[in-house]
Structure 1
Amino acid sequence: VNDTFDNTNRLTQIAQGTTTVGFTYDNANRRATLILPNGVVTSYSYDTASQLTGMTYTLGNNPLGNLSYAYDNDGRRSSGTGTFARTGLPLAMNQTAYNANNQLTTWGTANLFYDLNGNMTSDGTHSYTWDARNRLSQIDSGNTATFSYDSLGRRTSKTILGTQTGFLYDRANPVQELSGTTPTANLLTGRIDEYFSRSDSTGARSFLTDALHGTLALTDSSGGAQTSYTFEPFGNTTLTGSSTTNSFAYTGRELDATGLYFYRARYYHPSFQRFISEDPLGYAGGSVNFYGYAHNNPVSFIDPFGLAPCGAECQSVINALKKLFPCSADTPDHRLTIPQGYNTVHQTLQAAGYQKPPLVWEDNPFLYWDPIAHSGGDEFRIGVGSSSIHFREPYPFPPIPQSDYTYTHPGAMGGRKTILDQFHTDYHNPSVDPLGHVLFDVLKLAENFEFYESLLDGF
């Protein structure tokens, strides 16, 4: 896979053999178009606050569909319209019950049960078995499904109703599916849960996706929609058109034949509208309900790791940054681009009252040490402790020549790319690092999540 960048370090092309994906940007450095391998173009439009307001899908001069979004004064998405705004409605459920741990115990006529670690063991139809790290390992004692994970916690294999599928990863995203050692599908991916194309025995399919990375349709080489997806707000999924073995659907996550979605740290039940195990972050995930999905606001937020979705503070920080940097711009994956140099950004932050500790990595080496991707880093923060809002430079993945760095901090083991300035809180980072920098807390609660520090930091 080869990546191409322009003179301002913006990604303009991803190429895998003869398959290419292209990107263009507007004058505010927001993504303007996405050009898929089959020639379908997704065009993006924004309001004056850089909120995504429209996505149009075209092939040459032929319109394929569109989406339009509106927002309230607090930046919450208030409506979604357009030809691709298909929405299913969940069935009414008039009998539910919960216990003091916010566990769903009754759903209609079914009784649900949990182990002492908060993992669901039965939903009235299926039984669930969990390993020592609270990862789902079997459904119905293996008769329905079994799952395996690597030493980094990624799901390497699933066997569902006798069909085994293995996975090869590029960091967080699967890029190849296998049957035994034989590849059965190849994926071209971008950001976390952003899938551009998938090729299997039926041919190549390009993904049309919405603002939440949900798959709207799989299109063939001529741009025709072969398989279409309709989602209920909380993710129950209906497919129409040609059958497919593609599992990447609601918010770009994997829908298993069991009816569960795999959200990395946990499995999600779209009918129950909640996860079937507790948030490993506990209260650090930003809610007293350890089973809730996206703070019960699935039209605005996503939770790619099953840990901590974008909360209300996300928009408040974005708004604060926009006031400090009028030239800044949102991108569709909840980043904020500030097209200014390192020193200019830092001077502006200092003038606004943000203070920079002299050596952050010495103050908290657990949060800022990564033997693979980066080491150290400058940071500006308002407030005290892990709950403060602070900004830092993105972490580049090696190998990056020293000449590509625009700044090297004295004493840091390497330099810092400075095109994107990112923000987070250590206890809740919904924006660029879905794990935030809560790894120190995560390690106390769930040792198996330590791999995210090296794999996902910098998204």
Structure 2
Amino acid sequence: MLNNRISIYRLLAILSLPMGGAAYGQSPSGNQNYIVETTVRVPDKKTGASLSTLGVAGANRTIQYLDGLGRPLQSVQWQASPSGKDIIQPVEYDAFGREARKYLPYVDLPGTANGSFRSGAAASQGGFYASPPTGVSVNTYPFAQTQFEPSPLNRVEQQGSPGAAWQLSAGHTQRLEYGTNAGEVRLWAVNGGGASSSGSYVAGRLYRTTSRDENWKTSDGNMGKVDEYKDLEGRVVLKRVWETDTRSLSTYYLYDDLGNLRYVLPPALNENGAGITSFADNDANFNNYIYAYRYDGRNRVVEKKLPGKGWEYLVYNKLDQLVMSQDAVQRGKSPQEWLFTKYDAFGRSVLTGSYVDDLHGGAANNNYRADFQSIANVNSAYEVRNTADGSTGYTNNAIPQGSIGEYLSMSYYDDYTAPGMPYDQSLSFSTRTKGLATASKVKVLGTSNWLWTVSYYDDLGKMVRSYAQHYLSDTQNTDNYDELSITYGFTGEVLSSNRIHHTAVLNTTIANIYTYDHVGRKKQARSQITSGSTVGDNVLLSELSYNELGQLLNKQLAGGMQTTGYSYNERGWLSSSRSDQFSLLLNYDDNSAVPSARRQYNGNISSSLWGAGNGTLANAYRYEYDGLNRLTKGVSSGINMSEELTYDLMGNIASLNRDGTGANLYTYHNGGNMLRSVANVTTQDYGYDANGSATTDGRNGMTIIYNMLNLPSTATKFGVSVAYTYDATGTKLTKNSNGNIRRYISGIEYSGNNIEIIHTDEGIAQNNNGVYTYQYNLSDHLGNVRYSFDIYGGAVRRLQQDDYYAFGKRNSVSVGSNKYLYNGKEVQDELGEQYDYGARFYDPVIGRWNVVDPLAEGTDDISTYSYGMNNPVLMIDPDGMKADTTMAILLKEVNITGKKVMEPVHGFWNNIYYGLFPREIEVKIFGRNRTVAVSNGGYAYNPFLIKMEVPDIGLKGGFNSIYKGLKKGLPYIGKAFNVFKRYSKAERLLMEIEPVLNGIDDPRLLRAVEQKVLEYSKSKGAVANIRNAFDPKRKDYVEYAQKATVWLEKNAPNWKNSF
């Protein structure tokens, strides 16, 4: 064996430096091949010699041991546990070189923490979990077994998970079967204006993959089974899920001769393999249920239709960038309106706005897309900076050039020469700003006001100062702005933020300080609010402690006055959070606490108990699910708040029975997804506009008008009037309820012209004449606020307590002022307890949205109005865009090395892949209107997000702006966005290659791989990218394009099948 040793250092960028000998306190085993990766945490260390003297607080080291074939044998994170012990993850292979058993990491508590190779790692790992330290669950089977088929293909037949219940012999594994079709799949032919089917695929022409999750047992028969059929080109043509042993729901995908996806036929049209055999582009089934796409000669999506919505039209420039779009409501106006985006030469969005059609005589509802496409084909594809233009600072060469209704946003890059830019401090900060967003201004919708944001950076490209105007007093004023300063640690973590909230009357300063342990786990968060000359207390908001694996063990609030302890099961799923104020117990496969609950092995929660303290909990919920994992029943004890539901073929609620009062039946317009009425609940029928948005709320009797972003601008009925103001990114600025004005300024809320509350990491700070009292929230696993308190007289004082039905309705309206309740969203009392999620409003009384899902194409087998995949016990919708699991990663196992833990197999709801994502430990927002960067700590294996730890530094979150900047339905290719927030057509591919992308240390190769995927995706249809990941004009493009091809073929050989 060759004893090769390589050292890799991370000093913000990656440098390869040879190193001889052991580093401080670290002795890699010299008789093994290994790679040492060092993340330097302190500055001014530029040589291997200077690094060798650093302890773990100055340099985090991971030693990857390799066998003679270069395969990982063991990963050792040197002194990475909270107590400074080594964290080890063993790797072993069977006789065929496969990882048939994947081990959880363990901590070598009795050993010397020197990074050495542990020869008896598997035995030591078993001993660790047999008698674990505080906070780590006992696990007699701390590994996941994989059963492969006996063939050269090495395909997975069964995938187990850690824990006794999930071993291959226990019967609760994910199962996969492979085969071909018989005669059960319809063969569709696309024609000029629809499609028809007169027969089935010949047997053996399609590949079939059948999957079953951990809940399946032999007596279930077909129930819970998922059959997916692919053609010889790897395209999915049918996904069939089984609700019961005899009832199947099918989704067909229809392609044209060029391989473009033309239609998606959801389950409402394909029950039990039967259903319609033809349709036209204007019949009732088409309008109510079918997803449709039309393409131009360059295979770009130019027209698309979603169920319940009118056609949307898309126009592209010569570089295939989306430049104009029009929905059905805009087309119905006279003159017609379009939204547009203009780019610079680097593909960056510089100008957005609305265009009023001045070419077609004001005619409504006609299709003029082809006319504008012809203009775009000959016009310039981009704008350049133009200092002579004092309005936008750009030329006007790209489409549209004519009747600009209004500009909505203007973005500037590279320098600080934007016309009219305020707060010019460019001489005080780095001038190395090429490629960075330096300034922007965003329109306040319905007004002539603009709000500027100017960002300044250090030499490493980190934003360190920003100036952002706010909308106090309903007007733009250069005296009204927020000045934000951020300091960072050497590895990029936020150490402090200081936000000065400037007004013409009074300045308010919000200072936050964060501390971390030796490997970057967050330890403390402090806050201090100064109002004018009144200096507030420096408050210790939270203090966190972790078990030896890095799972959150205890969280103390209010300077230690309140403590919540957390525990987990063998899979790393949250099993309890306990405190004297609010305690929660979650059960999955264990029904000892609620014997009548059916054990759940696939991540569904079988029962929950809640109350206070460490003793017996007074209240319980028992949950039942159907074969599609939809919640069908939530039965309570100790408190009366039960729900029982049935669903139609599309997952629309068919009936809802609360507290045994009788089933309220739901009826829908034309049998589609749009709700008409609910028996005993609604007072009139719901009505909708051409975009599928409810303009008449049948439950509240309100008439709703939407703005161009499809957000409610007014809601009125007799005696009630609510008006909302937004900026062009969709950020809510004001709410006027019958003359009572509430203002929202990036976490600061005004009642009238006075600050009422300031949001903090752990709740709010309540203003009382310039003195702020901190209030804290205790939430359940869904982020529902259950208990709010402050400190009064040296003790915890309860302010508010809330309980919720499964779909979010409050059991009773409690006394208290907190309006951020279900999922942590703001309740709109004026709208009858609806919640504002950002992209749309949710009504928990009827358990559904009133607006079509902006990302409906990602879940085309379920209603566009359904909430949380109809499993609100497990799923949340963070921003109204897309349902996500409350677990950080659904059924994600322990993963500290970046290697994927299990092969991609179909899992929960069969459109989510297990075990393939980086874990969210901490989210840091780096700038206004910028995306969210995810820090993957890599030590904890807590799949649940107890609470997403977002430093409250007064910035606008990036989750909204991610989607506002892209057109609905277009895939985004690349790693620039959080993997949870990708677009539908690209999701499958990105989920598959994301783990190995994380292992690319050469940033040029990383971008080249993304570029390769991007180019292939563009050949299959439109994408949302506005710039290349790796510019083809680069001198090293050919070299790295070849490297990217080799890398993809080696690490993701079937990647093209995902398109």
Question: Which TM-score band (shorter chain)?
Answer: 0.5 to 0.7
Match of 1:130 among 670, 682, 688: 688
Q: Which residue of 2 aligns with 1:409?
A: 1031
Shift of 1:251: 4.5
SS in 2 for 1:198: strand
Q: Which amino acid aligns with 2:834?
A: L
Give 1:153 deviation, angstroms.
Answer: 1.7
Cα deviation 1:420-443 (Å, max 9, x = unaligned): xxxxxxxxxxxxxxxxxxxxx9xx
- Provide the TM-score with structure 1 as the length reference: 0.58
Q: Give, in angstroms, the shift of residue 204 of structure 1.
A: 0.7
Greater Rg by CA: 2
Residue 186 of structure 1 is matched in structure 2 by 743
The alpha-carbon distance between structure 1 residues 97 and 250, as it changes in their structure 2 partners (threshold 3 A), is closer
Aligned-partner SS, 2:1023: helix
- Greater length-normalized contact order (CA 8 Å, ≥ 6 residues apart): 1
2:731 aligned residue (173, 182, 186): 173
SS of 2:1012's equivalent in the other structure is coil
Answer yes or no: is 1:255 the counterpart of 2:911. no
Q: Do the aligned partners of residues 137 and 54 (structure 1) sit closer, same or farther apart at CA in structure 2, a change above 3 Å counting?
A: farther
Instruction: State the secondary structure of the residue aligned to 2:878.
Output: coil
Q: Give CA-to-partner distance per residue, 1:5-49, whole Å, 9 cap, x none.
A: 441444445544254555444444334555565555566677899
Partner residue in 1 for 2:758: 207
| Structure 2 SS opposite 1:357 | helix
Q: Distance in 1 between matches of 2:893 and 2:1028?
A: 20
Q: Distance in 2 between matches of 1:353 and 1:136?
A: 44
Match of 1:107 in 2: 657
Q: Secondary structure at the match of 2:748?
A: strand
State the distance in 2 between where 1:46 and 1:301 align: 29
Contact 2:577/2:583 (8 A) holds in 1: no
1:307 maps to which residue?
882
Are 1:376 and 2:376 matched, yes or no?
A: no
Check whether the contact 1:138–1:146 (CA below 8 A) recurs between aligned residues: yes
Contact 1:76 1:300 in 2 (8 A): no
**SS across alignment from 1:367:** coil
Q: 1:385 — aligned with what?
A: none
Contact 1:168/1:177 (<8 A) preserved: no
Is the alpha carbon distance of 1:272 and 1:157 closer, same or farther for their aligned partners in structure 2, counting shifts above 3 Å? closer
* Cα 1:32–1:95 shift into 2, 3 Å: same
Q: Quote the RMSD (CA, aligned, Å).
A: 5.3
CA contact (8 A) 2:693 2:850 kept: no
* Identity level (%): 15
Given that residues 137 and 147 in structure 1 are in contact (C-alpha distance below 8 angstroms), is that contact kept between their aligned partners in structure 2?
Answer: yes
Letter in 2 for 1:224: T
Compute the displacement of 1:304 (Å).
Answer: 0.2
Q: Distance in 2 between matches of 1:303 and 1:174?
A: 16
Go from structure 1 to structure 2 and tell me whether the alpha carbon gap of 1:178 and 1:54 turns closer, same or farther (over 3 Å shift).
same
SS at match of 2:772: coil
Query: What residue in structure 1 maps to residue 642 of structure 2?
Result: 93
**Which one-letter code corresponds to 1:107 in the other structure?**
N
Question: 2:979 matched to 1:357?
Answer: no
1:156 and 2:811 matched: no
Give runs of aligned pairs for residues 52-451 of structure 1, distance below 5 A. 60-63=537-540, 65=557, 91-93=640-642, 95-104=644-653, 105-108=655-658, 109=662, 110-115=664-669, 116-123=671-678, 124-126=680-682, 127=684, 128-140=686-698, 144-159=701-716, 161-178=719-736, 184-189=741-746, 196-201=747-752, 203-209=754-760, 216-217=763-764, 219-220=766-767, 221-225=770-774, 232=803, 235-236=808-809, 240-241=815-816, 250-251=822-823, 253-257=825-829, 258-263=832-837, 266-271=840-845, 274-275=848-849, 279=853, 281-282=855-856, 284-285=858-859, 291-293=866-868, 296=871, 301-309=876-884, 314=889, 322=898, 330-331=922-923, 335-337=933-935, 347=1002, 350=1005, 356-357=1011-1012, 360=1015, 362-363=1018-1019, 366-369=1022-1025, 375-378=1026-1029, 409-410=1031-1032
Task: Quote how far apart the aligned CAs of 1:288 are.
Answer: 5.2
Tell me if structure 2 keeps the 8 A contact 1:3–1:11: no
Q: Structure 1: how far apart are the matches of 2:1023 and 2:934?
A: 22
**Contact 1:102 1:289 (8 Å CA) reproduced:** yes
Letter in 2 for 1:93: S
Equivalent residues, number: 363
Q: Which runs of 5+ in 2 are unaligned?
A: 1-451, 470-479, 502-507, 529-535, 542-556, 585-609, 611-618, 620-638, 776-787, 789-798, 901-917, 926-931, 937-975, 977-998, 1035-1058
CA contact (8 A) 1:209 1:217 kept: yes
> Do the aligned partners of residues 201 and 117 (structure 1) sit closer, same or farther apart at CA in structure 2, a change above 3 Å counting?
same
Deviation for aligned residue 1:149:
1.2
Give the Å deviation of 1:176.
Answer: 3.2
Superposed displacement of residue 148, structure 1: 1.3
Q: Distance between the aligned counterparts of 2:764 and 2:540, measured in 1?
A: 14
Following TM superposition, by how much is the alpha carbon of 1:256 offset from its aligned partner in structure 2, in angstroms? 2.1
Instruction: Quote the Cα distance in structure 1 between the aligned partners of 2:839 and 2:1006.
Output: 39
Q: Distance in 1 between matches of 2:748 and 2:743?
A: 8
Q: Structure 2 vs 1, CA of residues 219 and 310 (structure 1 numbering), >3 Å: closer, same or farther?
A: same
Separation in 1, partners of 2:691, 2:665: 25
Q: Secondary structure at the match of 2:696?
A: strand
What is the aligned counterpart of 1:30 among 493, 501, 505? 493
- Contact preservation (8 Å) 1:231, 1:250: no
Alpha-carbon distance, 1:118 to partner? 1.4
Q: Which amino acid aligns with 1:167?
A: T
CA contact (8 A) 1:45 1:53 kept: yes
CA distance in 2, matches of 1:153, 1:93: 34
CA deviation profile, 1:231-280 (whole Å, cap 9, x unmatched): 547645656445x8xx6654464422211224455542335655467756
Q: Return the letter of the residue paired with 2:1028.
A: G
TM-score by length of 2: 0.29
How big is the shift at 1:197?
Answer: 0.4
CA contact (8 A) 1:206 1:219 kept: yes
Question: One-letter code of the match for 1:208?
Answer: H
Are the aligned partners of 2:748 and 2:759 in contact in 1 as well (CA < 8 Å)? no
Kindly state the Cα deviation for residue 139 of structure 1 after the two structures are TM-superposed. 1.9
CA contact (8 A) 1:29 1:337 kept: no
Distance in 1 separating the partners of 2:537 and 2:823: 27
Whole-Å Cα distance in 2 between the matches of residues 329 and 172 of structure 1? Answer: 27
Shift of residue 82 of structure 1?
6.7
- Counterparts of 1:298 and 1:55 in 2: how far apart (Å)? 30
Deviation at 1:135, TM superposition (A): 0.7
